[in-house]
C-alpha cells in the first residue's frame, strides 16, 4: 500500500481516538473537582492541544513505516492533580478508566456506522474513492480504539490499568503497585519486545475480522 495512502487512512482515526481518550480523562477529572485540564485548555477536541511529538507522531509513524501489524501511540497526557479530589485514590481510578471506556464506546459506534454505510451504499452509491476512504477510516477506527483501550488497561502505572489498580487495591498493595511507576515505561517496552501485547490484543482484533 502506498505510504501516503496508509498515512491518510491511519492518521485521522488514530488522532480522533487519542484525543477522545485524553478529553475523557480531563472531563471526568473536572467533574470530580480538578479543574487543571480545563484551565490549561485540554478539554477540547482540537487535536493541536493534544499532539505529542513522540507519542502522537513519531511512534505511530515508525510502526506504519516498518509495517507493524499493531499501530499504537498516544496524545500528550492530560494534567490531573489527585489532591483536588475528595477521594484521591478512588477518583483517580475513575478518571483513569474513563479513557479506555471512551475508546470502547467509539469503537462500537464506528462498528455500527461501518455496517450501516455498507448497507445503505447498496441503496445510495457513493463515489468509489470517498466510499473507500470512509470505510477504511471506520475499519481502522474500530481497531485503533480497541488497541488503545486494551493497551491502556495493562496493569502497570502510568498506564490507566495501573492507576485503576492503585485505586481499588488495599493501601499496602496499592503503594507497591504505585512504586512501579518509575519502571513503568521500561516494563511496557519489554512487554512489547516479548510479544506480550500481541498475545493480549490478538483475541480482540480477531473479533473485528
Q: Which of 43, 37, 29, 42 is nearest to 82 (CA)?
A: 29
Catalytic pick among 22, 121, 181, 209: 22
Our answer to whether residue 22 is catalytic in this structure is yes
Residue 192: cis peptide before it, omega within 30 degrees of 0: no
* CA gap 141, 133 in Å, rounded: 12
* CA gap 175, 178 in Å, rounded: 5
Residues annotated catalytic, as ranges: 22
Amino acid at each position: 500500500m502506498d505510504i501516503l495512502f496508509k498515512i491518510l487512512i491511519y492518521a485521522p482515526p488514530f488522532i480522533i481516538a487519542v484525543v477522545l481518550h485524553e478529553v475523557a480523562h480531563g472531563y471526568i477529572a473536572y467533574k470530580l473537582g480538578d479543574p487543571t485540564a480545563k484551565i490549561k485548555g485540554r478539554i477540547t477536541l482540537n487535536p493541536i492541544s493534544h499532539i505529542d511529538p513522540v507519542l502522537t507522531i513519531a511512534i505511530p509513524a515508525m510502526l506504519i513505516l516498518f509495517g507493524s501489524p499493531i499501530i499504537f501511540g498516544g496524545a500528550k497526557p492530560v494534567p490531573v492533580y489527585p489532591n483536588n479530589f475528595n477521594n484521591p485514590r478512588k477518583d483517580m481510578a475513575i478518571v483513569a478508566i474513563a479513557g479506555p471506556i471512551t475508546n470502547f464506546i467509539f469503537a462500537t459506534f464506528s462498528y455500527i456506522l461501518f455496517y450501516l454505510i455498507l448497507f445503505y451504499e447498496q441503496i445510495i452509491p457513493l463515489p468509489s474513492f470517498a466510499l473507500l476512504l470512509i470505510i477504511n477510516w471506520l475499519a481502522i477506527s474500530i481497531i485503533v480504539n480497541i488497541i488503545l483501550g486494551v493497551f491502556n488497561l495493562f496493569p502497570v502505572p502510568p498506564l490507566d490499568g495501573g492507576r485503576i489498580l492503585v485505586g481499588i487495591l488495599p493501601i499496602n498493595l496499592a503503594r507497591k503497585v504505585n512504586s512501579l511507576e518509575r519502571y513503568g515505561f521500561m516494563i511496557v517496552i519489554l512487554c512489547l519486545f516479548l510479544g506480550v501485547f500481541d498475545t493480549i490484543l490478538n483475541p480482540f482484533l480477531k473479533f473485528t475480522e
